[in-house]
Amino acid sequence: MINRFLKIAKQRIGSLKKINLKKDNRPLIMLICILMASVLWFANSLGKLYETTVSVPVQYTNLPENKVLTESPPSKLEITMEAHGATLLQHRLRMSVTPLNFNFRLFTGNLMNNDIKTEHKILTNNYLTQISRQITGEVEIKNISPDTLIFKFDNIIREKKEVLADFDLEFEQQYFLSGPVEFTPDSVWVEGPKQTLDTIQHLKTRHTRFKNVNSSLNRNVRLREIENVKIETRRVAARLPVSLYTEYIHSISLEKYNVPDSLNLVTFPGSVEISCLVPVDDYSNLTPGQFKIGVDYKHIDYASSMIEIEVHAVPSYIKSFSLKKQHVEFIIEEVIND
């Protein structure tokens, strides 16, 4: 094609010599000659071999199914190639916008799919032939940069995570939660990179606000999404037990802890008044014996005449528990055995 173009161009210039030119047409003829000479030079250049470097976009396909990339490999490869000028001119623009397909499974022989390794290195110059086939047989690839592609993966794992509530509850007066929020299911399977799942202790619901609550609630709620993590169940059933609470006031006898058998610890007074809120349905079942409150001999400060009252146990369903006083007076007596 180039030889034919040169032949036609020479014929055109030769025909100019036969024209009887006027003196006023010389600038035009000179411009035509320069133009034709440039065309001839350019056509001649296209027939020579050249070496050039092109930045070629690349897409990575067939990555291991049970792994995920933690660091992205280069999005472009610098490819040095040799070809005739016409070939380079024809393919250079296409190569700079059409991505190469870097078939990871093909280049590694499916090596990483069942391997516990999380890093793999590929020497790009070992695959000049495979990459050259994607471009054109008329181009010879001399070099690819970077010379090494490093693929860093994390293994995909599957675990169960507990569901926790992220609720904003506004109760009517004297109404409260009478127990923990219950979810069905209470834990959900998740799948994702091990490095990510190791940082997740539980799954939270989407932030949900409930106003003017005065009875138990049953709701289907969505779980909060986590980037790069697949959550098997998107919704769970939530039960919020709510009760009307009433005030409970009672005097509780103080117990004595860790008192040696040879001594007797006496407090003044010997009891303390408590107050709390209790669900109306549980009020009749609440007894003073369910409260374990007292003083500990090991915590006596002999420089003081007062000892701190300690709370050891209260029913789990009460709220707003308080003691009327925090300290009581005490004396120590020796036990006299007859």
Mark whether 199 and 268 lie in a shared domain: no
Mark whether 88 and 170 lie in a shared domain: no
Interval 214-241: pLDDT, tens: 999 999 999 999 998 999 999 999 999 9
End-of-domain residue from the set 14, 30, 46? 46
For residue 88, the domain's CATH number is 2.170.120
Kindly state whether residue 151 falls inside one of the protein's structural domains: no
2: pLDDT strictly greater than 50: no
Kindly state whether residue 152 falls inside one of the protein's structural domains: no
Mark whether 253 and 294 lie in a shared domain: yes
Mark whether 200 and 166 lie in a shared domain: yes
pLDDT at 169: 96
38: pLDDT strictly greater than 60: no
> Residue 62, SS3?
coil
Averaged pLDDT score across all residues of the chain: 83
Mark whether 142 and 74 lie in a shared domain: yes
Calculate mean pLDDT across residues 309-334: 94
Mark whether 236 and 171 lie in a shared domain: yes
Mark whether 101 and 78 lie in a shared domain: yes
Distance CA 73, CA 151 (A): 6
| Structure-token pair, residue 217 | 């609630």
Mark whether 59 and 135 lie in a shared domain: yes
Mark whether 259 and 278 lie in a shared domain: yes
**Cβ(180)–Cβ(165) below 8 Å:** no
| The amino acid at 2 | I
For residue 170, the domain's CATH number is 2.170.120.40
Of the given ranges (49-63, 65-79, 106-120, 296-310), which has the lowest mean pLDDT?
A: 106-120
The number of domains in the chain is 4
End-of-domain residue from the set 29, 46, 63? 46
Kindly state whether residue 271 falls inside one of the protein's structural domains: yes
Range of the domain at 174: 157-240
Interval 246-305: pLDDT, tens: 999 999 999 999 999 999 999 999 999 999 999 999 999 999 999 999 999 999 998 889
Catalogue the long-range contacts made by 251-254 (C-beta closer than 8 Å, 24 or more residues apart): 251/288, 252/288, 252/291, 252/293, 253/288, 254/293, 254/294, 254/295, 254/309, 254/328
Mark whether 113 and 62 lie in a shared domain: yes
- pLDDT band (50, 70, 90) for residue 143: confident
247 or 10: which leads in pLDDT = 247
Mark whether 216 and 201 lie in a shared domain: yes
| Structure-token pair, residue 171 | 């109760």
For residue 322, the domain's CATH number is 2.170.120.30
Confidence (pTM): 0.62
Mark whether 217 and 255 lie in a shared domain: no
